[in-house]
Structures are given as C-alpha cells and as structure tokens.
Structure 1
Amino acid sequence: MPVVNIKVERLKRLVPGVKVNKVLNAMPFVALDIEGIDNNIIRVEYNPNRPDFSSDYGIVRALRGLLGIETGAPKFKLAGKSGLEIEVDQAVKRIRPYVAGLVARNGKLNDETIKQLISMQEDLHNGLGRRRKKASIGIHNLDGIKFPVTYKTVSGDYTFEPLGESSNQSIDRILKESETGKQYGRILKGLGRYPVIVDSAGATISFPPIINGNVTKVDKNCRNLFVEVTATDQKAAEDALAIIAVTLYDAGFEIRTVTIDSGKKVETPHMKPKVISADIGYVNSILGMAFDAKQAIDYLKKSRLDAKASGKKIICTVPRYRIDINHPIDIAEEVAIGYGIFNLEPTFPASPTAGQKNLLSTYFCAIREALTGLGMIEALSFSLTSREVQYNAFGITGKDALAVDGSKSLEHEILRDSLIPALLQSLSRNVHEEYPQRLFEIGKTFHTNGALTERWNVVGVITHVHARYTEIRSVMQALIKSCFGRDAITKAAQNTMFMEGRSAEIVIDGMLMGTIGEVTPLALENFKLRMPVAAFEIDLSHIIKDK
C-alpha cells in the first residue's frame, strides 16, 4: 500500500485551528491508516483507489471536509489558456500515443512541497501508470523551455543531458547504465525508436517514461512549472493530469491549459466534473439508514462533493480528480463517510442464516487443489487483451474477435477467446526465473457464434528444456480423472497455436472439450520464450453442467 509522509508542523499549517490529535483521529474515517509517527513525521497509508491521496494536499483536502472546516467541492478554476503547444509527431502513435500537459504559474516551492510532488509523481507512476508502462509524468521548470515543444521519436544513438548528469549520453547508454533505464527500459524494449519531447531550441525536455532532461530541473527557486503526461491509455493520462492540476492549485499555482496538436487541437487538462445521480431510497437501503435528501446532501458536502435534490434523486457533482466515484454505490459510500462511519451502529440480523459455497467455486477449488498438487502455480490475467498478444503472436488474423468499441488503450482492445496467450505472456515476463515453470489459470473466455457466449476454461502450461506433449497430456488426464472421475482421450488434430503433428483435441465422453499440444516456434519467438512450451486448454462448461 502506498504511504505519504506528512510533517506535523506542515499538517498544523494546512489544517489550522484544529488540534493534531483530532486530525489524526479523523484519518481512519476517510480510509487512511496511520503507520506511525517518527521524528515529527506522520506516515499515512492510503488505498490505491484514492490516488488523489498521493500528497498531503489531497489528504488535507478530504480531512477539511470531514472536520467541517470547508465543505462542498473544493475551489478550483482554470486560469485560461497558456497559449503554449505540444506538437505530436505521428510516429509516436505506435509507441506511446497519448500526451497531455498543463502549465502552473506564479507559485512558490520549498523543499517539503517538492518532496510531496515527487512522492505524488511516483505513486501515480506505480498506481495509475502501472509502473510507468501505462502512463508517466514529467514535471519541469517552465522558464527553461522554448515553445512549441514536439513529442516525437528518435533513434538509440540520439544524445541529451539526462537529469542529474553533467554531460550528454545516448539513449542506448541511458537504458543500459542508468538506474531508471535498467528499471523501466523493459517498457521500450525492442522498439528501435524512442519517444522524446524537445523544445523549439532543440533542448531535450523528457525521454518518457525513463527520465527528464537536465535543462528543466526543478528546484525551490522555480515559480512556473510545465507538466506533461505520456501514456498508452488516454484516460490514465487525463486522470493523472487532473490530480496533479488540483494539487498544484492547492499549492498556490494558477493552472493554465496546454494545446495538444496531434492533427486535431485539444486543450488539456480536462477538468469538467462528472454528474452522477442516486435515488435516496437506494442510498438508505445500502446504509440501513433513513436519511432525507437534505441530510444526504449535507453529508456529501462533507465528503467534498456538491449535490442537489431532484424529486427522490440526489444529483451529485463529482470533482474531476475523484476518479474513484463512478456509480450510485460510490455516492452511498460518500454519504456514509460524510455522516461519519463511527456513527453507524451495527445490528444483528433478524434471523441467523448461513451461506453456502457457489457450485462453480466448489469445482474451481477442486481444480486448483489438483493442479497445485501436480506442481503448478495459479496465475491471473485480465479478460481484456490486445490483438498482438491474442492473435498476431500466433500468426492468426482474429477477424471474429470481440473488439472494444472506441478503446483508448492498445493493451485492452478485445475480449479473449483463449487463456493460452495470457499465460505465454506471463512466462515471457519470467524468462529469468528458475525452470521448470508450470502455470495454470481458471478464467472466462468470450465467443461469438451467432450469439455472444461466455465460457469458463482451465488452461495449463509447462516450460523447460524437455517440455513435451506427453508431459502436459499426463497432467491434463490426471486433472480430469481426479476432479470429475472421467477419462480424457486425445485425437490428433491441427491447431494454429500448436506445432503440426504435436497437437490434438481433448475428448471427454465423446464430446470435444479442448485442445492440447506444443506451442509453435513462431509464438515462442514472438513472446521471447527461451524454452519449449506445452499447453492444454479445456472448456469446463459442458463437463460441469453434466456433473
């Protein structure tokens, strides 16, 4: 869990007129945990679903509401357009296609504020940014930049002076020798061209997602800042920038938009609040309370939201930085927080009842136990994936793929119709680990054969220097026998994921239930796997239904 360090003296200044103990006692009721207090520094742990808590400004913003010091949506106003522009070269579209930015002017920095900004930046990198792969942030001294700036790609021999260095270094050298290059270079591995942001004077501002240029180094003498976010996911970029914008506003800066020119000109950041309505009866049913609309609105304002009544509904205006609020259930939670979770009284149910495990869960537990006993480790992957992983790596067209309409992320374009690619991707991330490696997963796949269907599949993969068809077949047959008391037979058949002559269909009680085989050399090469891989995949739908 991420942690923010807050100096006691700074907390007193940000929450004036309230005793420190009272502020500390309020923290758990906005989902904050106090890890400890050492040398007048409070270590506060927060849930990753609240990235706006990644700085002391965000934490204080929530506490001021709960303590009744300042209620309703926090004051925030864009000061207008900066007149500055980021020009986007089309070459970045296939590497890191999205960029957003803002300008923060006429503020004052001190050492502690800079520490808070750096801590916020890294927490956003690790959370929203998925360790910089999905999004990364650069904070720069605006006064050292000649606009317009250009977001483009360069070759590995391109040189610039990276942050903290005194001489130019090539991108190849930075990736191989610098600490951040070693840590995050995997994101750009194998691309050949690399993203950079350069100004109109030719100075390199940033090499995302690795390191900033030294020319825009931030120190406590800076009064004007330029913030850029590059990403593979547009929403992640916009969410991160919104949180940074409101934080810098709270720190005393005026925030102005930056024009992004990628063929179509847009202004960022987008700070328009979203509106969510919730029925007061629904809120009360969730909380077990009997609030009227006025009470609920007062409690929402203590949670730093704006709200009004419309008949039996509450119309809630959610500030742009509150990316965790998306549904009426979230509104109910905010009402509870504003009311004071400490005021909610637990009650015993009218009659004692006992739950029962879902039938599917019973089968899945048996499958997990069997495969774990066979020396395999369970993996979990997302249902949304990319065409590159699901199809292109195997030389498959995937013309019938279930595509996401208007996907903003290259990694989440389609719904998977097989679990095998996801496990091969997991193996590719663990090529430096000890062999043999044995993984399995139980998950949903999605198919369209006239009508959309969802199926539960189980997949197993084995990789080591001698991984073969016979080994994976024995694992599969042992699984079916131990969990379902049936015999699984294999019939030779060709499958595009497997080598010709080394693949088969899995047949149980005369029905085709899955596929098995040795993964093709093409797929091994595309996933950068160093050892042979054997795999099976079984559709559990019919076998569980028959049981």
Structure 2
Amino acid sequence: MPVVTLQHRRLERLVGKSIDEILAMLPYIALDIEEEGNDYVKVEYNPNRPDFSTDYGIARALRGIMGIEVGLPRLNLVGSSVATFNVDASVDSIRPYVLALVAFDGRMDDEDLRQLISMQEDLHMGIGRKRRKVSIGLHDYDKVNGPFYYTTESKDFKFIPLNSAREMSMQEILASTDVGKAYGHIIKEHARYPIIKDAKDNVLSFPPIVNAELTRVTEHTKNMLVEVTATDLNTAKDVLAVIAVTLSDMGFKVASVSINYDGYTITTPEMSYRRMSLPMDRLSLLGLDIDRKEVIECLRRSRLDVEAGEVDGNIECLVPRYRVDIIHWIDLVEEVAIGYNISRFEPRYPRLKAMGSRHRMLKVLDDARSVMVGLGMLEVMNFNLVSMLIQYEMVGRRRDSNAALVVEESKSKEHEVLRDSLVPSLLAVLSRNVHEPYPQRLFEVGKVFSRDGDSIREEWSVAAVIAHSSANYTEARSYLQALLYTLFGIDVDTEPVDEPPYESGKAAEILFKDKRIGSIGEVSSSVLSNFRIRVPVSAFEVIISRLYSK
C-alpha cells in the first residue's frame, strides 16, 4: 500500500483546522496512520484513491468531511487550448496515446515539488502498472516551444537524459541507466522507440523511460507542461485528471491541450463530471434512517454533488473526473457513509443469534492428517505458487495452457504458476533431503488449482511419496487403501495408465464409481535423475474434495 508523508503545518494551512482535529479525522476518510513524528505524519492510502497521493488531495477530502468546503471542488481552469500535440502513426503499435495539459502561474516550494514527484511515482506504480500502462512526464514549459510531436526515433537517436550531463543514445539509456534497466523491457522489443519533441526538435521525453534534462522541473518552475503516454486511453484520462485537480489546488491555472491524431482531435484534460444514479432503497444497507436531504448533504461532504429532482426514486449524483474509484452505486453508498461520518455509526448486536463452526471439510482434512501421521508419515507444507520447472519440466508433464493458472510477469522464478498437483513439490522436498537417512515417507494436504472453462476450480488433495531402496507400487497402494478406508470406509479401483511422473507400466489412475479422483505409481528413473534422487520412489495423489461429497 502506498504511503504519503504529511507535514503538520502544511495540513493545518490547507485544511484550516488544528492538527489534532485533522489527525482524529484521518481514519474516517480511509487513511491509516503508519507513523507519527513531532511535525509530520505518514499515512497509508488505498491505491484506488490516487487523489490521496499528495497532501492537497487529502486536504480536499478533509475540508469536505469537516464541512469547510462541500460539493464538487472548484477548479482553476483556463478556457481554450494553449498548445498542440501532433501524434505520428508510428507510435500506434508501441504506445498509441498521449494526453497533456499546461499549468500556468504557479508557485512551488521544496515540499510542493517533493509531493508532485511522489504523486508521479505513486501513479506510475499503481494505476500506471509500473509505467507499462501509463507514464507521466513533468516539464518546464518555458524551456520548450510548441507545437509538440509524439513520434518515434531509431535506437541510435541521442539526447541528454534527466540527471545526465552528456548525450546518450536511446539504446545506451536502456542499457546503462537505472530507469532504463528498470523499465526498458516495456519497449525493448520494438525496432524504434517513442519520443516527444518540440517545434525546434528539442527532446522533452523518451516515454515511458526518462525525461530530458532540458525540461527539468524545479521549485522555480512557474509554468509546467504535463504529458501522459499510455496504452489505454481511459486510464490516461484518469491519471491526467488527478494531476490536473492537484495542480489546480496548488494554485496553478490549468489549460487544455489539443491532441491531433490521424483523422480526429481530442482536447485534454477531460474534467467534466460523471452522472451516476444512486437508488434510495439501496441506502438501507447502511442501517441508517436518513431522508433525501441528509443523503445529499452526506454526498456533498464527500465532495460529490447531485442534480435537482429525482428519476424513478434515484438520486442523480455528479462525480468529479478524478474520483476513479467510484464505478458502481455501492461506491456511492460508501460515500454517503463517509459523508455521514463513520464515527457516528452506533454498533449493535445482531437480532439473530447464530453460532459459527468449522466447515466439515476441514474436519475431514484434519482426519486425513491424523491417519497419515498414524501410518508413520511426516507432513510437509509447500507453497501453492511454484516454478514451471518443478511443476512441469522436471516431472515430464506438459502444461495445458487452457487449464494452468500462470502468474503474469512473475518477478520470481519460484512463483510462476498455481500448482495443479502436489507430487512435484513433494519430489522437490525429497531432492533437498538426499543426505538424510532413509526410508523417507512424506505427505502433504493442500489445494490444487485448475481452470474449468471461465471459472477457477480449487480442490483439496492429499499426496504422499515413499522413498527407500525397495519402495514400490504395492506399498503406495497399501497406504492409499488405509487412508481412504479409515476416512470414508471405501475402497477404490485402479486402471493402468501411462502418465508422468510415473514409470510406464507401473502407474494407474484412481477411480471411484468410474470417476477419476487421482493417480498412483512408481516414479520414473528419468524424473528421479532430474531431482537427483538416488533411491526408488513411489507416490500417490487423491483429490479428497471429490470424495467428500460422495
């Protein structure tokens, strides 16, 4: 969760209340206090509220909830467009969208600049998906000349990047700078890279990697150009709206920019409010007895507003563009609760007395553990997320791309896929214990995951491995029979099958009432070699969930 540092004196100035009153109210606008110092407080905010990434956004919400300033925020917007961006078709397959605004006549101190840059990075990491979806460039507008051009250049194109004193090629920037190494993978596969230039061919930005040193923003910057490049247009509009309202609160005059695409033009930022209906009957979810007038007051304290009149018993709400978290009527109900002030809610015991209890399936799993321990086995616990190497390659299994649940852009080779079988993880445990005495008899009770059409299937499974000089199919079958007879009083059938990780001719599928519930066999020598296990291993796995509802 992102954290923002708030200075006491600034908060008092921005809100108009004492710091004690402000600190007492922070939890009621969904901010968690992480740390308090003599003159500052660090608060954690939910990533779905990017407007809370600066003290200006937090102060805006506090002024509403404390009744100082209610309704839609007043924005310091200038009328017509003051600049133009021309978008070249060469960016279409790389990063097709650019939006922009110009902010005039601002005054910033060191803390304003720190907050602005912190907001930029929080937006990059959250809604921007680590710059893959959206990236932001802040520029000193007085250093450049419009119109501006969003186009591409070859990898050998050179300019002076931010925090550098010399020209570097775009390829060199990706290879040798910290930001290039961190974000270069986003565009590295393309033959040409995106670039933003002005009318005099000065470079402003190499998105989503780095700005040019020429347009560095400092506390002395009075006029600012903000550009947002993206792969998703709506997300770019959301980000620019958050920046626009923040700059307006900082005292800048925010002017629009015309963006010329091939065949059409848009003007940004888009700051018009959205209309959403709030059904009055849904407010019963809050358990409050409040009338329409008080509901409107609550919404206005949450910095929303309403249109006059009702439509089919609904309140027509006006939602500011920067409130990207409000997407459904239930979000409006939450805003009513916040505007009402959550501290005013009175806790009550429920009228209906009910007793909770453990799910019966958990009792079955506990019994399974007891049986396996009673049979002389040792329980191990592995992660549900495992590596492709262990789950598929080392055991000779082919991954079904339609059924496997793979983590996108996993940062760890050890956590790439949700396991659909427990046996590979147990073999990995054996491989880490080859120097321990034998026999080794291990079991695990855990979940296995698979895709079932458009839904995800989660099932409980019990698996065991037996490793010693004479481990075989018969021994594994005896443990399986003991487990199932003790738990359910049943016996099962087995049918020969050839499937990894088992030796051909020494494996079977486990059937109950002609339905497959697992597999059993002797692990093949090639798999044992992959795991560097030097003794025979037999194993079984049975999906207990399918027997629980027998």
- The 1-side partners of 2:196 and 2:231 are apart by 16
- The 2-side partners of 1:318 and 1:480 are apart by 63
Alignment of 1:367-386 (within 5 A): 376-379=382-385
* Closer, same or farther: CA 357–204 of 1 in aligned 2, 3 Å: farther
CA contact (8 A) 1:145 1:199 kept: yes
Q: Quick one: which amino acid aligns to residue 5 of structure 1?
A: T
Alignment of 1:22-37 (within 5 A): 22-37=21-36
Alignment of 1:233-272 (within 5 A): 233-263=232-262, 264-272=264-272
Query: What CA deviation, in whole Å up to 9, does each residue of 1:73-126 have, x standing for no partner?
Result: 111253233242222222322222222211112222222211110111111111
CA contact (8 A) 1:492 1:505 kept: yes
Which residue of 1 is the match for residue 349 of structure 2? 348
Q: Quick one: which amino acid aligns to residue 273 of structure 2?
A: P
Query: What CA deviation, in whole Å up to 9, does each residue of 1:235-288 have, x standing for no partner?
Result: 2211111100100111111212222222121112222212221222211x2111
- The 2-side partners of 1:90 and 1:361 are apart by 58
CA contact (8 A) 1:280 1:292 kept: no
Aligned-residue offset at 1:356: 5.8
* Closer, same or farther: CA 424–86 of 1 in aligned 2, 3 Å: closer
Unaligned stretches of 5+ in structure 2?
373-377, 387-397, 417-424, 430-445, 462-475, 520-530, 532-540
**Aligned-partner SS, 2:146:** coil
Alignment of 1:440-451 (within 5 A): 445=451, 447=453
CA contact (8 A) 2:47 2:126 kept: yes
* Closer, same or farther: CA 422–21 of 1 in aligned 2, 3 Å: closer
**Aligned-partner SS, 2:35:** strand
Q: Quick one: which amino acid aligns to residue 280 of structure 2?
A: I
- The 2-side partners of 1:481 and 1:267 are apart by 72
- 1:418 is aligned, of 403, 418, 433, to 403
Q: Quick one: which amino acid aligns to residue 270 of structure 2?
A: H
Which residue of 2 is the match for residue 220 of structure 1? 219
- The 2-side partners of 1:365 and 1:314 are apart by 52
- The 1-side partners of 2:363 and 2:230 are apart by 41
CA contact (8 A) 2:385 2:415 kept: no
Which residue of 2 is the match for residue 155 of structure 1? 154
Q: Quick one: which amino acid aligns to residue 343 of structure 1?
A: R
- The 2-side partners of 1:204 and 1:429 are apart by 41
- The 1-side partners of 2:509 and 2:102 are apart by 60
CA contact (8 A) 1:481 1:487 kept: no
Aligned-residue RMSD, C-alpha: 4.4
Q: Quick one: which amino acid aligns to residue 403 of structure 2?
A: S
**Aligned-partner SS, 1:377:** coil
- The 2-side partners of 1:73 and 1:480 are apart by 69
Q: Quick one: which amino acid aligns to residue 419 of structure 1?
A: A
- The 2-side partners of 1:426 and 1:505 are apart by 37
Aligned-residue offset at 1:162: 0.6
Which residue of 1 is the match for residue 15 of structure 2? 15
* Closer, same or farther: CA 147–83 of 1 in aligned 2, 3 Å: same
Query: What CA deviation, in whole Å up to 9, does each residue of 1:116-163 have, x standing for no partner?
Result: 101111111111112222211111111222222222233332211011
**Aligned-partner SS, 2:162:** coil
Which residue of 1 is the match for residue 305 of structure 2? 306
- The 2-side partners of 1:224 and 1:26 are apart by 34
Aligned-residue offset at 1:300: 1.0
Q: TM-score, normalised by structure 1?
A: 0.72
Aligned-residue offset at 1:355: 4.3
Aligned-residue offset at 1:366: 11
Q: Does 1:138 align with 2:107?
A: no
Query: What CA deviation, in whole Å up to 9, does each residue of 1:418-459 have, x standing for no partner?
Result: 33554796766979xxx9999x98667464xxxxx6452679
Based on CA coordinates, which of the two structures has the bigger radius of gyration?
2
Q: Quick one: which amino acid aligns to residue 242 of structure 2?
A: I
* Closer, same or farther: CA 2–488 of 1 in aligned 2, 3 Å: farther
- The 1-side partners of 2:30 and 2:496 are apart by 53
Q: Quick one: which amino acid aligns to residue 112 of structure 1?
A: E
Query: What CA deviation, in whole Å up to 9, does each residue of 1:3-40 have, x standing for no partner?
Result: 22222222222123x22211121111111123333352
CA contact (8 A) 2:405 2:450 kept: no
Query: What CA deviation, in whole Å up to 9, does each residue of 1:313-348 have, x standing for no partner?
Result: 222111111111111211111111111111100000
Q: Does 1:46 align with 2:52?
A: no
Which residue of 2 is the match for residue 282 of structure 1? 282
Aligned-residue offset at 1:543: 4.3
CA contact (8 A) 1:124 1:240 kept: yes
Aligned-residue offset at 1:202: 1.6
| Length, aligned pairs only | 465
Percent of residue pairs identical: 39
* Worse-matched range after superposition: 505-514 or 266-275: 505-514
* Closer, same or farther: CA 261–423 of 1 in aligned 2, 3 Å: closer
Which residue of 2 is the match for residue 231 of structure 1? 230
Unaligned stretches of 5+ in structure 1?
381-393, 397-415, 448-452, 461-474, 494-500, 516-530, 532-537
Query: What CA deviation, in whole Å up to 9, does each residue of 1:458-503 have, x standing for no partner?
Result: 799xxxxxxxxxxxxxx9xx9999899967878569xxxxxxx9xx
CA contact (8 A) 2:15 2:60 kept: no
CA contact (8 A) 1:3 1:43 kept: yes
**Aligned-partner SS, 2:316:** strand
- The 2-side partners of 1:155 and 1:242 are apart by 32
* Closer, same or farther: CA 490–196 of 1 in aligned 2, 3 Å: farther
- The 2-side partners of 1:35 and 1:143 are apart by 39
Q: Quick one: which amino acid aligns to residue 336 of structure 1?
A: A
- The 2-side partners of 1:319 and 1:340 are apart by 20
Aligned-residue offset at 1:194: 2.2
* Closer, same or farther: CA 135–544 of 1 in aligned 2, 3 Å: farther
Which residue of 1 is the match for residue 5 of structure 2? 5
Query: What CA deviation, in whole Å up to 9, does each residue of 1:30-84 have, x standing for no partner?
Result: 1112333335222222222211100011000000011111011111253233242
Which residue of 1 is the match for residue 336 of structure 2? 335
Which residue of 2 is the match for residue 294 of structure 1? 293
- The 2-side partners of 1:20 and 1:325 are apart by 29
* Closer, same or farther: CA 100–418 of 1 in aligned 2, 3 Å: farther
- The 2-side partners of 1:251 and 1:182 are apart by 33
- The 1-side partners of 2:365 and 2:233 are apart by 36
- The 1-side partners of 2:121 and 2:482 are apart by 49
Aligned-residue offset at 1:365: 11
- The 1-side partners of 2:162 and 2:355 are apart by 60
Which residue of 1 is the match for residue 88 of structure 2? 89
- The 1-side partners of 2:161 and 2:481 are apart by 57
CA contact (8 A) 1:307 1:314 kept: yes
**Aligned-partner SS, 1:266:** strand
Alignment of 1:58-73 (within 5 A): 58-73=57-72
* Closer, same or farther: CA 149–427 of 1 in aligned 2, 3 Å: same
* Worse-matched range after superposition: 168-177 or 146-155: 146-155
Aligned-residue offset at 1:373: 6.3
* Closer, same or farther: CA 124–479 of 1 in aligned 2, 3 Å: farther
CA contact (8 A) 2:459 2:545 kept: no
Which residue of 1 is the match for residue 393 of structure 2? none
- The 2-side partners of 1:480 and 1:170 are apart by 68
- The 2-side partners of 1:104 and 1:21 are apart by 34
- The 1-side partners of 2:362 and 2:9 are apart by 52
